[in-house]
Amino acid sequence: MCTRGPVIVMELPEKLNHLEGTTFLAEMKPLLESDRPRMVLDCSQVQHIDSAGIEVLLESMEEVMKRDGDLKLAALSPSCAAILELMRVDRLFEVFETADEAARSFRAIAAPEVAQTLPWYSGGYGITDLKTAS
Amino acid sequence: MGLAAIVVVETGTADSYPAAPADTKTKQKAKAGVGEPLPCVEIMGRSMLERTIERFVHANVEVVTVLMSGDAAWAAQSTRNAHDRVKFKSVCDIGSAIGKEIREFSQSGIDHAFIVSANVYTETDLFDFYSFHRESQQRATKAIDRDGRLGFGIVDCGKALEIDIENILMRGEGAGSSYFVREYVSQLNHTRDLRRTITDALNGRCAMRPAGTEVKPGVWVDEGAQVHKRARIVAPAYIGRGSRIRQDTVITRCSSIEKDCYVDWGTVIEDSSILSDTHIGISVDVCHAIANGNKLLNLERDVVIEISDPGVMRSTSPVRKQPRSTIHPEEERVIVADLQEQKLSTPEPWQLGTNPIQG
């Protein structure tokens, strides 16, 4: 487990089954105590995931949502991605290539559109107008 | 020196205005399941027509005239933010109406006019286009992009009367050098283009932004929308004004819910757009589609499905805007899914368990 600013990044175990999943949930629960937890589950190590593993993901998401937070997945292996897709669980999560990217996405709010207010075509057009227009 | 703009909207009655390289069949398909001109359909809070008008207004173009080949008042109704500089006109013949407008512009001292089809949304630098036109000393300059010509151009009002503007700008005949548009362009030739435009905007591929507030990265919620605490909104997504999203719903993969929609319990909206005033019932799974009232256009199969069970999908508007019939029965595959027999008056316990959020 590590933190990137207010975002908690947790690495999932290599085998995400009932046993490992229960341990993982027990480790994770204290981290969810904060208001609006922001969590990234790094799946780069996951080689095996079964239905209990899927339940871990869903339970984690439910816990995070209860606290008005969000949970994102990162670095899914192709096999893991295929399983999530088959179970139709993938659509419940935002999935990113890397944990860094997922952590960054919590902060990225798009810049507002800036309206052009000055008449760019009045008078002769030159570099000043170009600046105004931009 | 003055500048004006003419925005041309095709409503489907007149076939005099080929706004894009589309034949009659394509035009009819284009409106499949929507029932109104695509530029007038509200996406992410505003119609493309409104966005186009606003681009000209923000660029301080003196007069913007919207020429409609049908009922102009109807289009004006959808354009909420009316500006003093914008005039709506209903015309029979677009070609002669453009000529008349340009004559009037010329008489009122306006030197140049942009002419654009409302089906074309472009984020090109208007000043750059204008400069190019002036430097090339042409009577008319048409814009092109990497896919070819666009229904967009600029004319010299004083000299434009001597030429066939419609042919030059819209059909690309007889024009000199063209202005190449490098910026984002979206052409609305088919209903699926609405989805593409929404996806592009939500993914930040263009400068267009959804209306409303970005409540968390990639999730825009407009005024008066109510999202239940237990609803899962996966970014990027847009929830329109006055819409209600009930518990255990999932809105995911660049989906947009337009104004005054209602998405009931346990429903999943994935890679889809729900157009305004649409009610989606309990535990419905809408994927890769555009829903409008009781019509569902599946984008993967290009099929319009009309749902007759109001419990599944229906329009919430008492009087739906239906200007005219747009789907020809022989040219569109319309499947009427009569689900009346399977109508479920009350949610069964198993239905509530279908949402994986509930575990």
Residue numbers in B near A112 (CB within 8 A): 209
Q: Do the chains contact at B1 and A121, CB–CB below 8 Å?
A: yes
Residue numbers in B near A108 (CB within 8 A): 217-218
CB proximity list for B289: less than 8 A, separation 6 or greater: B272, B273, B296, B297, B298, B299
Please tell me the predicted confidence (pLDDT) of residue B22.
43
CA–CA separation, B56 and B130 (whole Å) = 12
Residue B252, H or E segment? strand B250-252
pLDDT band at B208, cuts 50/70/90? very high
Please tell me the predicted confidence (pLDDT) of residue B251.
97
Please tell me the predicted confidence (pLDDT) of residue A108.
63
Please tell me the predicted confidence (pLDDT) of residue A35.
82
Alpha-carbon torsion (B305, B307, B313, B317), positive or negative: positive
Query: How far does B250 lie from chain A, in Å, by closest CA?
Result: 7
Q: Do the chains contact at A58 and B357, CB–CB below 8 Å?
A: yes
Chain B touched by A110 (CB under 8 Å): yes
Query: How far does B190 lie from chain A, in Å, by closest CA?
Result: 26
- A interface mutation test: which of B50, B131, B206, B355 has the most A CBs within 10 A? B131
Burial level of B196, CB count in 10 A (0-12/13-18/19+)?
A: middle
pLDDT band at B316, cuts 50/70/90? confident
Chain B touched by A119 (CB under 8 Å): yes
**All structural domains of chain B:** 3-187 (3.90.550.10), 213-342 (2.160.10.20)
Angle between helices A18-28 and A51-66 (to 10 degrees): 20
Q: How much is the ipTM here?
A: 0.78
pLDDT, tens only, A93-124 = 999 999 999 999 987 654 444 444 444 443 33
pLDDT, tens only, B273-310 = 999 999 999 999 999 999 999 999 999 999 999 999 99
**Interface A-B: count of C-beta contacts within 8 A:** 79
Residues of chain A with pLDDT > 70, as a percent, come to: 76
CB proximity list for B216: less than 8 A, separation 6 or greater: A70, B235
Give the pair of three-digit tokens for residue B121: 């949304």
Q: Do the chains contact at A68 and B252, CB–CB below 8 Å?
A: no
**All structural domains of chain A:** 2-108 (3.30.750.24)
Q: Do the chains contact at A93 and B234, CB–CB below 8 Å?
A: yes
Please tell me the predicted confidence (pLDDT) of residue B85.
82
CB B312 within 8 Å of CB B295: no
- Whether residue A132 is predicted with pLDDT greater than 70 in this model: the reply is no
